[in-house]
């Protein structure tokens, strides 16, 4: 795996909107071949068309990260198309007040399934980079977001354990913890009062999803002997 982004094969979950969509656009513009997974096939197809029309390389595979077989199919499609996988970006996630079962399936199991799908290829290559998405809530718990925070703390723990275990295979690992970033994610909140509160907060302080995309590109573009393990960022106006 070479320094920079150009030429790398990057698999992204949750790529149909928000953080994943922004990352796909930026990385493709910088020369990566992106393999995009999400449940909304129409949104994925539109994004692939946009990227390829601009001269980029993109492939879409309809994927529900709660289904391990679908995540494996996503990664395998990327390897089949390009011969390898350089980066696995486990981005798909849900916000607070969603059903407990679904939060665990997407926010924790989805990350584990992404790691499990990518690791056999990366260990065989003796190279690769796994990027997991946590949250500011993975550093600080607030009222009403206990379970969500627990899933994001779990992502940080998984990422640190992964970092230590993959050293013999020259695999890098990064966990990115965004603050309030303008995406459709708050729309996944099922409690009406909480949804209203979160949406008002985001309207006041949220920064563009491109901020996340730049953090991803920064981590990926480092020389092979540099392993950016954790990035925590917030809007300048966000106080927690």
Active site residues: 148
Q: In what order do the strands lie in the sheet with 87-90?
A: 57-62, 33-38, 9-13, 87-90, 128-133, 171-178, 230-233
Q: Is 14 helix (H, G, I), strand (E, B) or coil?
A: coil
Query: Hey, what are 11's tokens?
Result: 């698999």
CA distance 71 to 60: 12
User: Are 206 and 237 contacting, i.e. CB atoms less than 8 angstroms apart?
Assistant: no
CA distance 179 to 134: 10
Which H/E stretch holds residue 178?
strand 171-178
Q: Is 230 helix (H, G, I), strand (E, B) or coil?
A: strand
CA distance 141 to 146: 6
User: Are 204 and 106 contacting, i.e. CB atoms less than 8 angstroms apart?
Assistant: no
**Residue 198 vs residues 47, 133, 135: alpha-carbon distances, Å:** 27, 19, 15
Alpha-helical segments (H) within the chain: 18-29, 41-53, 68-82, 100-103, 110-125, 146-165, 192-205, 210-220
């Amino acid at each position: 795996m070479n320094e920079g982004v150009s030429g790398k094969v990057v698999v992204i979950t949750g790529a149909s909107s928000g953080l994943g969509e922004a990352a796909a656009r930026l990385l493709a513009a910088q020369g990566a071949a992106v393999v995009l997974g999400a449940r909304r096939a129409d949104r994925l197809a539109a994004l692939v068309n946009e990227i390829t029309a601009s001269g980029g390389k993109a492939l879409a595979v309809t994927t529900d990260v709660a289904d391990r077989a679908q995540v494996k199919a996503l990664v395998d499609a990327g390897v089949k198309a390009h011969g390898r996988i350089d980066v696995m970006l486990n981005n798909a996630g849900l916000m607070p007040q969603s059903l407990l079962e679904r939060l665990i399936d997407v926010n924790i199991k989805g990350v584990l399934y992404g790691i499990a799908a990518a690791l056999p290829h990366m260990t065989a290559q003796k190279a690769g980079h796994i990027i997991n998405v946590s949250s500011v809530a993975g550093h600080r718990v607030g009222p009403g977001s206990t379970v969500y925070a627990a899933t994001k703390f779990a992502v940080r723990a998984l990422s640190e354990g992964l970092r230590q275990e993959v050293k013999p295979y020259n695999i890098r690992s990064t966990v990115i913890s965004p603050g309030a970033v303008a995406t459709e994610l708050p729309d996944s909140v099922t409690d009406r009062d909480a949804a209203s509160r979160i949406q008002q907060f985001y309207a006041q302080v949220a920064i563009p999803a491109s901020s996340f995309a730049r953090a991803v590109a920064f981590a990926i573009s480092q020389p092979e002997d540099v392993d950016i393990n954790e990035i925590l960022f917030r809007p300048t106006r966000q106080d927690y």
